[in-house]
Chains A and B, each alone.
Chain A
Amino acid sequence: MAIIGNPKYEERIQRHLAKYETKRSAVMPLLYIAQEEYGWVNQEGIEEVAQMLDLDPTQVKSIAGFYTMYSEKPKGKYWLQVCTDLPCALKGADDFHAWLKTELGVEEGGTTEDGMFTVEHVMCLAACDKAPMLQCNFHYVENLDQDKMKDLLAKWREEATKLANK
């Protein structure tokens, strides 16, 4: 479904537009809404955001491309971003990241065949005292180890299956 005219987003879109002096300022929050609707920032979402803000789609696309939290390709249901920056790496984050990829059978930035998990490494997430850590769909999960991670993967799989059967 589109985001323009979608009652799910109407209130949020209006609130963001009211926040700023210019329409253009709302490009980042509206791109997040597009990503939420389509699972990634696709051409349709870019064109809708451009239309709402009186911008050219190319201008919106350049913003989406500049920032790493807008995904320009489809992701798994759970987008796992593992911090492997220096403080986390001192606490074993590189090994943890490598293990997680092997555990899920994916390459860097890859998605599992069932479309469940995407794994990638990212720069410092401001949780250096709780390494290893990752962000799952933008929520922090901290103080990880292999056992905890196995439990979480199982929990997320179960959660997704329940949602799919609803």
Chain B
Amino acid sequence: MYILLRGREIEDIDQIKVYEKNDGFSGLKKSLAMKPTEVIDQVKASGLRGRGGAGFPTGVKWSFIPQSEPVKYVTINADESETGTFKDREIMETNPYQLLEGALICAYAIQAKAVYIYLRGEFWDVAHKLDDCIEEMRKKGYVGKNIMKSGFDCEIYTHLGAGAYICGEESALLNSLEGYLGQPRVRPPFPAQKGGGLYKEATVVNNVETIANCPFIMDKGADAFKSIGTEQSAGTKIFCVSGHVKNPGNFELPMGTTFRELLYEHAGGPLHDDIPFKAMLPSGGSGPIVPLNDKVLDCPMSYEDTPKIDTIIGSASIIIMDESVDITWVASKVIKFFKHESCGKCTPCREGTYWLDKVVDRIMDGRGTPDDVKRITDVAANMQGTTLCALGDFAANPIIHTVKNFPDDFAKHVAPKEAAAGD
């Protein structure tokens, strides 16, 4: 059953007429007939949690917006730049109206004057598609003045970034949208507060996948949504599987499905039949790497269960590595990513990623020592909790766990060389 990737079941659902015929805009219609606070309550009751990675309850986030503020905004985070994540792109390409409808539901709930969709710059074609969809909606009275004759006015705009991972961080995203460098802001004030959001107004920032769930919740009811998934992780989730599997791609499954079911039944098992799975990054480059053993495979994919295997589900960008992979090389790839993407504002992240890259390179080159392996953990530990945004932690987490969970892979690079005869 699909809530989000409905394009796989319904041909041409990216056409407005087809979308309308398949319950399109009925969640919005029902919302507009309710009080805004009732919409927030229904989203709260559904148990929907933010799909961008943090898993914060969506309705609670919306309720933080002070109703007394005259100007409020919704910003949709379509920056999708986490290594291994490619779900929001499929939602926008194949089911764009559902995202746009969800954005208007959110806008109505907080009484926002406009929605800005911040897309990563590389989603050039996707942004133009959304622009066309918005114009189709305007012709039919779903966007602009007096939406569906309800008296509610709201505009939707797209904004293209230009290649910066950090702009997926909500306060950096807002800076970027305002035409400043995409660097995180000091909080408080938080985006939901006056002074902290877009143009200093109270702002909700939500991920594409989160928002695309809202039409279902408002149309079918909170209970229908809550009946899918687990106690603390309601609904479905799109799991992006990449790396060493036979059938990589997006899989929308109820939360609480096990990694085993995802990887064997849906993603087709190991890419090469004779090379078993070795490791998994379940939350892209920013979550802890884990060995793919039975305990991990049998873990349900939910916000509450993944901490039991010492990792997180995050944005569910699941990168699979088989036994052919040297985890030292993975550490090197991941740290090069964060070194490139560190915005440079906070010293621990800017310098830490730079030094980690140097140390890992040295180890890879065969010039490292066992002390260098310890140094990785030392440097990374000094980045945790010392930066304005989570990127410092994101860079530190996986690297610490590569060393912790795969010590042998590092040890073989730094083993003392046997003295050659005659030395």
Contact = CB atoms under 8 A, between A and B. Distances in A.
Interface in A96-144: 122-129, 131, 135, 138-140
Contacts of A57: none
Contacts, number: 132
Interface in B243-257: 243-244, 248-250
B121 A69 contact: yes
* A20, A85, A86 — most chain B CB neighbours (10 Å): A86
A19 B164 contact: no
Contacts of B84: 86-87, 124, 128
Contact of A67 (B121, B244, B319, B337): B121
Interface in B316-342: 317, 319-321, 325, 330, 333-334, 337, 340-341
A24 interface: yes
Interface in B80-108: 80-86, 88-89
Interface residues of B, number: 53
Given A86-B334, A124-B84, A128-B248, A67 B125 contact: no
B243 A85 contact: no
B179 A28 contact: yes
A31 B244 CA distance: 39
A69 B177 contact: no
Given A67-B164, A123-B83, A126-B85, A28 B176 contact: yes
B179 A68 contact: no
B240 A128 contact: yes
B319 A126 contact: no
B340 to A, nearest CB: 6
Contacts of A140: 122, 125
B122 A90 contact: no
B83 A31 contact: no
B250 A129 contact: yes
A87 B243 contact: yes
Contacts of A135: 122
Interface in B218-255: 240-244, 248-250
B330 to A, nearest CB: 7
B162 interface: yes
A11 interface: no
B182 A67 contact: yes
A8 B199 CA distance: 30
Contacts of B248: 128-129
Contacts of B157: 19-20
A127 B123 CA distance: 11
A138 B120 CA distance: 11
A69 B334 contact: no
Nearest to A138: B124
27 contacts: A24-B179, A25-B159, A29-B159, A32-B162, A66-B182, A66-B343, A67-B164, A70-B162, A86-B281, A87-B83, A87-B242, A87-B243, A90-B243, A91-B243, A123-B340, A123-B341, A124-B81, A124-B83, A124-B337, A125-B122, A126-B123, A128-B84, A128-B317, A129-B241, A129-B242, A129-B249, A138-B125
Interface of A: 19-22, 24-29, 31-32, 53, 62-63, 66-70, 85-87, 89-91, 122-129, 131, 135, 138-140
Given A28-B162, A53-B179, A129-B241, 9 more contacts: A21-B199, A26-B179, A28-B160, A66-B181, A69-B162, A86-B84, A90-B242, A126-B81, A128-B248
